[in-house]
Amino acid sequence: MMFTAHANAAKNTTLHIKIMTDFAPQLDNSPQNIATGMMLKLEQQLNGAVSLTFIPASRLREWQQLHKFTDVCLYNKVKNPEREKNALFNRYPIMAFPSNRLVVLNHPELPKDITLSDAINKHKLTIGITKGRSYGEKIDAFIAANSDAFMPLPGTTSALRLSHMLFQNKIDAIIEYSAVFISRHSKDPRMSNIRYLTINKVEQAIFGYIACSPSKEGKKAINLFDTALQEPSIFKDIIDVHKAAFPHTEQAVLIRALEKAYKQ
């Protein structure tokens, strides 16, 4: 293939990219690990044209590093207008998630479908969020307009600490993907009392993209990643890992969303 020949020719001018991530890879099938695996597959597909080095960083620090240096990329990031002002995003998503859920411990009085407005105004819930994380355009806008009702937690381990606070009844709820929460706490006996409430009036599927420094190196990295993502074998891998990671009830929505995104 022409792409493979180009990649071989590029070996002598390998682009070295630092991947800042707030996630420490584990040997399991969690959605976070799937996104990490997809980045490694892209590196392999690019056949020497790019070399990735993963560096731990909190959600806030990873964006600071992207703005400070010219050779930094982030992955599995939600694309929104504010972020696009300061970073280069690739065209094709590497992950799709079902919409975030409002995760609560017990609270049988709460309906299975709820708006964030009712959660904070009618039910007076204190909701924990990860500082610097995007939850999708509509949820982000609601949080910005009602910041006093949310408890932001910074740092690399903020998502895990929020979960512990929920189990300890220090907060009433957190906003998280159900698959991520289940993967993180599947062995905890208290999981039987966890409920995943559907948040009304939000996107049905959230995409995770690659974001890079707004620089010559960043632009080159973005172009390489999107070239690799157009390979049919890579798209097949993306579909297959979503089938493995998500319940059958959510697969159809995610796969349709991905197919639509890749045809645009």
Same domain, 195 and 252: no
DSSP calls for 24-45: ---SS--HHHHHHHHHHHHHHH
Domain closes at, from 168, 199, 230? 199
Q: Are strands 150-153 and 127-130 parallel, antiparallel or unpaired?
A: parallel
- Specify the pLDDT at position 10: 47
Same domain, 245 and 164: no
247: domain range? 2-96+207-263
Domain closes at, from 170, 199, 228? 199
Place of tokens 């208290």: 190
Amino acid found at 106: N
Same domain, 86 and 127: no
Token duo for residue 223: 């172009």
Hey, which residues does 73 pair with through a beta bridge?
19, 212
What is the rounded CA–CA span in Å between residue 163 and residue 136?
20
> Mean pLDDT score of the chain, rounded to an integer?
89
Same domain, 175 and 51: no
Domain count, the chain: 2
Same domain, 111 and 194: yes
Same domain, 86 and 15: yes
Phi, psi of 58 (to 5 degrees): -70, 165
For residues 177-196, give the mean pLDDT.
90
**Of 6-10, 62-66, 89-93, highest mean pLDDT:** 89-93
**Among 1-10, 102-111, 227-236, 255-264, which stretch is predicted with the lowest mean pLDDT?**
1-10
Same domain, 142 and 52: no
Same domain, 175 and 250: no
Q: What percent of the chain has pLDDT over 70?
A: 92
Quick check: helix, strand or coil at residue 246? coil
